[in-house]
Structures are given as C-alpha cells and as structure tokens.
Amino acid sequence: MPASNHVLVVGHGPAAHRLVERVRHHGHRGPVTALGAEPRPAYNRVLLTSLLGGTLTAEDLKLPDPPDGVRVRTGVTATAVDRARRLVHTDTGETHPYDHLVLATGARPRIPHLPGLLTADGGLTEGATALRTLADCERLADGPVVVLGAGVLGTETTLALLRAGRDVTLVHPGPHPMDDRLDDMAGALLADHLRSRGAHLRLRRAAAEYRPGKLALDDREILRADALVLCTGVEPETALARRAGLAVRTGVVVDRHLRTNDPRVHAIGDCAEFDGEAPGLVTTTWEQAETLARILSGEEAHHRADRPVVRLKAPGIDLACLGPPDPPGATRHVTLSDPARGRYARLALSGERILGGVLIGLPRATAAVGQLYERGLPVPSDRLGLLLGTAATERPASVELPDEAVLCHCNHVTKGDLLRAWRAGARDLPGVAVATRATTGCGGCADDVRLVLASATGGNSDP
Amino acid sequence: MPDTAASTSVATHCPYCALQCGTRLGHDSGGTVVEPSDFPVNDGRLCQKGWTAPALLDVRDRLRHPLVRDAVGRLVPVDWDTALDTVAEKLWRIRDEHGPDALAVFGGGGLTNEKAYLLGKFARLALKTSQIDYNGRFCMSSAAVAGAVAFGLDRGLPFPVGDLGGAEAILLAGANPAETMPPLMQHLEKADCIVVDPRRTKTAERAALHLQPVPGTDLALALGLLHIAVSDGWCDKEYVQERTTGFDAAWRRAVTWWPERVERVTGVPVAEQRAAVRMLGEARRAYVLTGRGAEQHSKGADTAAAFINLALALGLPGVAGSGYGCLTGQGNGQGGREHGQKADQLPGYRMITDSAARAHVAQVWGADPDTLPGPGRSAYELLDALGTDGGPRALLVFGSNPAVSAPNAAHVCDRLASLDLLVVADFVPSDTARMADVVLPVAQWAEEEGTMTNLEGRVLRRRRLHPPPDGVRTDLEVLHGLAVRLGEPADRYPTSPRQVFEELRRASRSGRADYSGISYDRLDAGETLHWPCPETPGGEPHPGTPRLFLDRFAHPDGRARFAEVDHRDPAETTDADHPLYATTGRVLAHYQSGAQTRRVTELHEAAPEPFVEIHPDTAERAGLREGEPARITSARGTAVARVRLVGSMRTDTVFVPFHYPGPGRANLITSTALDPRSRMPEFKVCAVRIEPGTDAS
C-alpha cells in the first residue's frame, strides 16, 4: 500500500456507502472522502417502494453512519476530474485530491420523449416524477397515480401504491408487465395479480401527452394522473467520466479489478460496465464494493459476473426471473402450469444445471431454485417435488411399518416391542409405557402407539 | 441429606443434559433402578439416556485404580500416593522450568458447582496459572456473551421451563429438543413452534413451521425476521422505547436484509419468513429460544444477539409469559460457567479483570489479589497451544473428553500427545484418558453429593445413592491431594461438597450469579431456588429469582441493549474441492463425546456407529448407497461414517453426529475458526466432499 493512500469516492449511494465501510473493515488506514450529490446521508435506495407502500418511513431507510475517519460531504456534486493532477472539482468550488478515485455515480432515470413532460427549463412538469431518490418519493402528489412502465420498478411501485390505498393505473407498451423477462404465461399471471390488487392496466399502450393532472394515451384515452411516476428505465450516470476522457460505453468500462482505463480510477455500482453489463441489482453493486474495498486495502481480489436473480419485492406474490428469458444452450425445459391457482414455473436446463427460468406463485420453489441457479448446483431428481415445494418424504401410517421400525425415538421402542408388550398383556397407553417406556420421553409418539394398540386389538382379539 | 450407604433410594437428577430431569434412584433386587420424579422440568418423563443411566454405575471398564504410564508406555495400576506424587512432582518441575502458565487445566460443563468452583481455585492458587478453560466454551458461550451484553446478565432461561407451556408461539433457532432434551417437549405442546434448522429434525417434523436455512446463514435469517417485524408492523414500539436502547443502530443493519435478499442467502422462502414473524407477532405469549445450531459458529455471539434483537423488537424479554432464552446443553452448563473454571472469570460470574471482583474473591480465598493470575486462553486456543513454544506443557483434564469433542480433533490429539504431562480424571477410560500419562479414577454422579444448576438457573441437589467403588476418589479429594502436594494449606481445599458450597456461597456473594442465600439445608427442605438468591442477614430468606428482568434488565439504566450486528459468510464456504456443507450435531441415544453413553448397552444398540445423513440425489452423484461407508473430507481431515439417505436433507448439506471415537470422529473435519467474542469454534458448518469409503477404514 502506498504511503499516501487517499481514497476519494464520487457518489454516496448504496455502492459508495458499502465501499467506505468495507475499506475500513479491511484495514485501509488512509484518508477516505465521499462526495454525495444528494443533500442527505446515505439511505437504502432499494427499499423506496416500502416507503411508497407505507411500511417503512424515510427515517427507517437510513444506513449506518460512516466509520471513523471517513469524511462524507453531502449536497456536493463533482463537476470535473483532473486526472493529471489527481484532483476532483465540485460545484461548490471545492477541490479534492486523490490517490485512488472511485466513481460511484449510480444511474439516472431515463426520461421518455413525451410531449408536455418537460418544462421550458428542462425540469419535469408538475405532478411528474421519476423514482430514484427519497426526494422523488416525497414529491409524489396525492390523488390518482399513473405509473409509466411495467418493468420491475414499475410493477413494485404499482403494488406498493396499491398497498397504500392509492388508485393506480399502470401503462406499459408491452403485451404484459415485465415482458422483457417473462413469457406470456408468467406475464398473464402477473397481470392477473396486479388486477386482483386493484391496478388498472393499460397494456400495449403508450403515453402520448402529459398535462398536469392528465395523461393522454396513444389510443386517445385520457387518464386522470394527479401524479405521474416514470418507471421507464435508468441509464448509467457517466457524464463526469466522459468529460474526464475515461472509456465509456453504456457505463464506465471497468476490468475485473473494477479499474477504468486509468489505473488510478475505479468505478462500481450502477455507473460501471463490467463484461458488457451494468449491475442493476444492489446485491451485485455490494459485491463490487466489497471486492474494491479489498483491492484498495492491498488484498488480491477480483470481480466475477454473478448469476443474478430478479426477485420482485412485494408481499403476496412470489416472482423470480433467473437469467435471460431464453437462454442459449438449453437442452430441456421443465414446466409447471397451474394458472387457476396462479402458479407457473418454466426452467431451462442443460443437463442437471439451471440456465434460466421464471417462477410465479411458488414460494418454496422460488427459494430453492433461486439458490440452485445462483450457485450452479444440480437440480434434484424429483423435479415436481422441487417445483411444488412438497416435503420429500412423508411417513406412512405406523400400522404399515415393519416390526423393527422405531416408533418411540426417545426410548428407542420399536413397533415389535409394542406388539410384544401387547401380547404380554399391556392393553393401554400407561400399561405399554410401563412395559416399554414408550411415550415417557417427549410424548410425541402417543398417537402412533395408540394406533398400534388399536390395530393389534382389532386384528387379533385373543393372541 | 446424610451420607449413608444404607439409603435404599434418593431423590436426585439425571447425570446428563441441562434439563437435569428429576429422578428417584434406588436399589432393588435386580440392581440399581431409576424412576422419573414429578420435578417440574420433566414431570414424570425421561428419555432413554435417563432410563438407562443406572447402567453407568456398573460399566464394564470402570476405572478402579490410578494408572501411570510406565517406561515402555503402558498404563499400569499404581496406588493413589504414587499417582498423586508423580503428578505433583512433574507439575513442580515443569513450573520451575517454564513458569506457572506452563500448567493448564481443562474442565467440564458436567462438573458439579462444587467441583467447578474448586477447580478454578486450584488452578489460580495451587498451580498459579491463568491457563484454565473448559468445554462449556464449546457449548453455550456464544449465547452467554450475547445475553450478558443484551440483558446485563446471562442465565440460559431467565424463567422456569414450565412457563413455556403457556406460550402460543415459540421460535426454536438451532435447537432440536425432541432428540436432545425429549422431556422438554411436553412444555412445547400447546405452542405453535417455528423451528430453524438446516435439517428436518424430529423437532422440525412436529413444528407448525420449519425454516430450513443453508448452514451458516442463521444470522441473515434473524436480521431478516427483524426487518419483517418492523416493516410488517409487529414491532412493539412502546416496549422498544421504554425498555431498550440501541434499536436504531441494530435496525440500520437489519434494514438491508429485506426478505427477498434473505431468501437468496438462506434459502428460506419469503412467505415462510413472513409467516414466522406473524405467528410470533400475533401470539399473546411468545418465546425466542436459541440452541447450539445458531450458536456454534464463528459469528455465534452475533447470531444469538440477532435473535435477541428480534425478541426485543417483538417486546418479549422481561415480560411475564414471554421471553428469550438459550437452551443450555451440558448437565451443569449453567453452573459450570458461573464459578470460575472459565479463562476470564471468577466465582459468582465475575470478570477476572475486574479489580473489585479479584479483591472479593481473593479475600474469600485468603489470598493476595495481586497474586491471582489474569485471563488465560480460551478452550480451543488452549488446546491448540499445548506443547508449543510458550504454551502449556502439562494439562489436567476433569470431566471432559477433548480428543473427541474439540474441533479439528486430529490436531488436538497431536497437541495432547506433545505434552510433557497429561493427567485425566474420569470414571471410564475415555478417548482422552487413553492418551494420558496419569489417569485418576474418580467418583461419578450417584456416588457423591453436590449441586447442579440447570438450564433455568435453578440450583439442584445431586445426591449420593451409594459410595464409590474401592480405589476411586472424588474430584474434590483429587484436588485436595494435589494441592497439598503443591504446598497449599490443606484447609483451602475441603473435600466435603457441603463445605465447598458454603465457601462458594461467600465467593459468589453480590456477584452476578449470587448463590449466597442458597444452602444445602434449604435445597434439602425442598425449596425451589433460582439464582440470584442473595443472603439476607437477619431478614426473611430470599426466595430466589425464578423470573428475571420483569421490572428491569440488569444494566445500570435497567434497559436491554439491541446489538448492532450484520451477517457474513462462515469462515469456510464451498468450492470445487469441497462442494458440500457439513454440519455436526447430536443423536438421542448419546451425550456429548459418548464416553458415557457408548458404554451403556441399550444406548449403544440404539445408535451403534457414526453415520452421515445425505440427500439421495447427492449420494447418487457421489456414488454412495444406503448403509455403505463414506469418507467425509474437509481441509483438515477425513471422518468415516455409514451412509443414511434422508430425503428431507438439503442437497447441499450433510450431517454427521459427533459422539463417536476414532476415525468416525466428526470433529476430524470441523473448523477451528473462532467467534471473536465468545471464542466458540465453528462446529456447525465446514466445507467438505464425500466419497465412498471402505469398511476396513
């Protein structure tokens, strides 16, 4: 580790917050500074829909304070990077030196081209908001809401607002919600679920024009929209990196050490592009923060693309998408379809490994399959059991058990022992207990013992 | 009760686990017989271990003479003076050459309060060593740390066991009482139980809800349950406000563990997480209990703390009919941790670094406080240091069998073998005793008087049915005999349990575990006494404290503490060479290292040999079939066990019980990663591969 090792982080969202905490944990002792553009300390962005749903408050979303010795400047936006002098300039006129610069500028909402959406000065028209920050949530107006875009965020937002008792219309150009990830059957079930919760769906529709309080669709329907929520995707925030002359494609391009083309500059989180992709999931972002914290602390570490699972965060519906909708190389598919009960699963397999899939309405399978996929583990041979989440073994009735089967585990009493006691004259539970000690431990076998006694009595009245 | 060999029956307690089931032990024409008593913990019930306990008194290979290793390495019988002289002489010599910390003591959670107390005193005064710890470190130390930090006091169950019977919901995290403490189950019958266990145990089978996490992820699960308690509106805000501190910091960790993330890490479905919290939240009376499954991890103290956080958020601890508790495992796991056989503690649950505590105990002992050693190494660190530079060169073992029960057992045996002197006091030739230079045959359970403190902090009388066989001495007599040979005054080491208890009372006075108001007379008169029970000079005797914390927690401000804890991976995760998780545990028929229970015919027949539970698919991929031998290999070693196909196992996990000796020792594979606070080893998760073995191996 160099003698001077000042880490400067641009951004103070979840990626930056995790990085500064972990860099201290891993023993980095140089100065650490984070510049957050938002006016408040770091918070848990991924749970903003819990705020909309009314289950958590803004106060609840606060993340832990930064560790000792980490300087966090809030309300400060980095405007330029002077890579030659290793300095970052800010909109407040500050200049911050660095030995290692970490770009964690995140992503910004993609604003659709929609007449009336933007004001003359380029801001959003009254009543319209994206959903990226706490301030966005606080801006949300009362009254009927239109959510534009039924991707993951739009779907979660719709369900959250419905939980909070709002009137919500969800407008989406695709044939069903999350159509970039869900096949027709899964998409139809998700649409059913949204409707059952009270959502008004406008599928295969696009917004044509916005005026405060009203949204016109491309079929001329006019929706009341006291609030308009834009869930129309995000794009990596790369302006600073571009201006600094760093390699940028969709995001700031990084290698497996999360390094840009300038070895002094790293990038993590939603602004970074690794292996052609920006993370999109906060868990991936956190893994990158952990990896970079190790690297900056002098450890050997590198980032690996993971196998992310998209899991809808909404109580009452279990929906998971594993990998791409139609993964190449699949040799067979396993499908369970039970639309009447809202259950559907389709897994693409290569041999015993899961390449991708979608599950809806199957809570146990979602948990099990998600882990198998993420960790690259083989699927069990009982695939129906896996998808239905049924217990693998059900015990047969005790009377069908062989004589050597243990019925009272506490005292290791077999069915044969019980029958011998019965033949010796024990006819009821207390009698059998004295003779064999069965039922005298936890007492859980009493029903089984009664069954054996009853069957012995019924089957052979005078042995 | 007077020591009379003539008594035909005595009221006493089972020799094994922390329930300390009440029994009536007597003689009839066929030998020694036992009957369960109406003691409220077991109320007429016993498990197979308890029913067969009389067989322990007549085990075939009972030690009846001291043994000393001769010139050619055989253990040969000698008389007591020879044995004790040999030990004392070697202790003198090693101490002269290497200093007092070259002498070490390893105690046990099965020792009576009197023995645990005198052992600690013997180490600090007669040996003058700081190097004493005990196998309780492997038992409930993580919960003890978490409980002490949260509540200001650690007592396994801060309420009587019977209170559980009135609960509507009970969460059992990593506890399997249906197999480890069967008589406890009668108290869980009314409640809806939620069992957290990677295996579908007998307890899980009977639960209303079974959460089956990946081994090593209980902490993430506990954080997630706290998250749900808050986000789904089950948090008792008024209780949190009035009776606790530290919620905000704890929450800021839990806030990042939303249920869908917890599902990814633990494998526990979101719907089941929510259902668990709802069951606890809706119940009018509810408990959160932890056991070894949650605690025996390199993050065991934080995991126990995370479950305590959940209990606090739900407003359970310190409320009549609800609460948090730890199911202590060993017979005197509770009392054993209170009286000074722990590296960092003095009697009365006092810290050895506290100068007031040192002064008080030194005064009771008639010693200069400055001569008392400071804190020593924890159990595994102590075993790991044996025979190394600066480590102990002599070890005295009482009531423990670390050759089987310690993690990384092959390494521990190497360390034991490297000692200049290993002395083992036991009543059977345990696996550790077989390695010893000197074996001291001691009395057991029904052959001597004493007290035990069960999992609910109730102090119990263990009574003598008959005297020990000829040639056998009590542990107290052994300590006395060694101490005087080391130049100590004879009256410092009484051999009468009652006399030792009288001294223990004084030593514990005004400590956290205050026994000063408890006496043999009160116990023998049938009083129910839970500590703390301070002496009340001139006043009415203190009634004991069956329920702690009802008015206030034991911190100066009376408030319980939330703990700021976060999840991390186990010390070892799976990789290509070791693709499975192994977890270790217990079976009903055996107790701890099995040194006792493997010698009881009925128990041996019920569970005769080591086995490995594995999912049929996992077995098939590994080329294993039911009943065939398998080799389970971790980075530390290989254990051999017979395959048992269990369809309810997770496909990524195998289970091995740890009660067996030799190549079947589960601890040949276990990890030595320690919890930074409790120094608990990570028994419950390590990475392994599994392959077919041969019967010969």
CATH classification at residue B88: 3.40.50.740
pLDDT class of B3 with cuts at 50, 70, 90 = very low
For B221-253, the pLDDT digits (tens) are 999 999 999 999 999 999 999 999 999 999 999
Q: Do B47 and A410 touch (CB under 8 A)?
A: yes
pLDDT class of A401 with cuts at 50, 70, 90 = confident
Tell me: do B229 and B94 sit in the same domain. Answer: no
Residue B100 above 60 pLDDT?
A: yes
Q: How many CA atoms lie within 13 A of B618 on its CB side?
A: 28
Residue A394 above 70 pLDDT?
A: no
Average pLDDT, chain B: 96
- Answer yes or no: is B450 within a domain: yes
Name the A residues in 317-336 with CB < 8 Å from any B CB. 318
CATH classification at residue A160: 3.50.50.60
Interface test with B, best of A387, A408, A440, A445 (most B CBs within 10 A): A440
Average pLDDT value for residue range B124-138: 97
Tell me: do B385 and B236 sit in the same domain. Answer: no
| pLDDT at residue A395 in the model | 47
| pLDDT at residue B239 in the model | 98
In which domain, by residue range, is A132 found? Answer: 128-232
Q: Do A410 and B261 touch (CB under 8 A)?
A: no
- Spell out the SS3 assignment of chain A: CCCCCCEEEECCCHHHHHHHHHHHHCCCCCCEEEEECCCCCCECHHHHHHHHCCCCCCHHHECCCCCCCEEEEECCCEEEEECCCCEEEECCCCEEECCEEEECCCEEECCCCCCCCECCCCCECCCEECCCCHHHHHHCCCCCEEEECCCHHHHHHHHHHHHCCCCEEEEECCCCCCCCCCCHHHHHHHHHHHHHCCCEEEECCCEEEEECEEEEECCCCEEEECEEEECCCEEECCHHHHHCCCCECCCEEECCCCECCCCCEEECHHHEEECCECCCCHHHHHHHHHHHHHHHCCCCCCCCCCCCEEECCCCCCCEEEECCCCCCCCCEEEEEEEHHHCEEEEEEEECCEEEEEEEECCHHHHHHHHHHHHCCCCCCCCHHHHHHCCCCCCCCCHHHCCCCCEEECCCCEEHHHHHHHHHCCCCCHHHHHHHHCCCCCCCCCHHHHHHHHHHHHHHCCCC
Average pLDDT, chain A: 92
The pTM (predicted TM-score) of the whole model is: 0.95
- Answer yes or no: is B293 within a domain: yes
Average pLDDT value for residue range A86-95: 96
Average pLDDT value for residue range A372-397: 77
For B356-369, the pLDDT digits (tens) are 999 999 999 999 99
Tell me: do A193 and A152 sit in the same domain. Answer: yes
Domain count, chain B: 4
* Residues A176/A170, Cβ–Cβ less than 8 Å: no
- Answer yes or no: is B511 within a domain: no
CA B284 – CA B468 distance, rounded (Å): 50
For B407-450, the pLDDT digits (tens) are 999 999 999 999 999 999 999 999 999 999 999 999 999 999 99
Average pLDDT value for residue range B594-598: 96
| pLDDT at residue A460 in the model | 53
Query: Which residues in chain B are closer than 8 Å to A56, comparing Cβ atoms?
Result: 230-231, 255
Q: Which of B443, B476, B495 is the last residue of a domain?
A: B495
The CA–CA distances, whole Å, from B154 to A183, B19, B157, B506 equal: 55, 17, 9, 20
pLDDT class of A459 with cuts at 50, 70, 90 = low
CATH classification at residue B682: 2.40.40.20
Q: Which of A296, A326, A344 is the last residue of a domain?
A: A296
- Answer yes or no: is A277 within a domain: yes
- Answer yes or no: is A86 within a domain: yes
pLDDT class of A458 with cuts at 50, 70, 90 = confident
* A44 → closest Cβ in B47, B256, B264: B256
Tell me: do A103 and A240 sit in the same domain. Answer: yes
- Answer yes or no: is B647 within a domain: yes
Tell me: do A332 and A186 sit in the same domain. Answer: no
Residue A149 above 90 pLDDT?
A: yes
Tell me: do B369 and B479 sit in the same domain. Answer: yes
Listed range (A304-308, B8-12, B307-311, B411-415) with the worst mean pLDDT: A304-308
Query: Which residues in chain B are closer than 8 Å to A64, comparing Cβ atoms?
Result: 249, 252-253, 564
Average pLDDT value for residue range A11-22: 96
Q: Do B274 and A318 touch (CB under 8 A)?
A: no
| pLDDT at residue A1 in the model | 45
B58 interfaces chain A, CB cutoff of 8 Å:
no
For A212-243, the pLDDT digits (tens) are 999 999 999 999 999 999 999 999 999 999 99
Tell me: do B426 and B312 sit in the same domain. Answer: no
Give me the residue label for tokens 């801006």.
A139
Q: Do B183 and A442 touch (CB under 8 A)?
A: yes
Domain count, chain A: 4
pLDDT over 90, % of chain A = 83
For B166-213, the pLDDT digits (tens) are 999 999 999 999 999 999 999 999 999 999 999 999 999 999 999 999
B190 interfaces chain A, CB cutoff of 8 Å:
no
| pLDDT at residue A128 in the model | 97
Which chain B residue shows the shortest CA-CA distance from A319?
B260
- Answer yes or no: is A224 within a domain: yes
Supply the DSSP symbol for B607.
Answer: S
For A261-277, the pLDDT digits (tens) are 999 999 999 999 999 88
In which domain, by residue range, is B41 found? Answer: 9-58
Tell me: do B381 and B394 sit in the same domain. Answer: yes
- Answer yes or no: is B571 within a domain: no
pLDDT class of B696 with cuts at 50, 70, 90 = low
Tell me: do B320 and B347 sit in the same domain. Answer: no
User: Which residues on neighbouring strands pair with residue B173, listed in sequence order?
Assistant: B196, B290
B647 interfaces chain A, CB cutoff of 8 Å:
yes
Phi, psi of A176 (to 5 degrees): -160, 165
Residue A3 above 60 pLDDT?
A: no
Which chain B residue shows the shortest CA-CA distance from A433?
B45
Q: Which of B312, B327, B342 is the last residue of a domain?
A: B327
Listed range (A21-35, A389-403, B424-438) with the worst mean pLDDT: A389-403
As for the ipTM of the complex, it is 0.92
Average pLDDT value for residue range A343-368: 95
pLDDT class of A391 with cuts at 50, 70, 90 = low
- Answer yes or no: is B538 within a domain: no
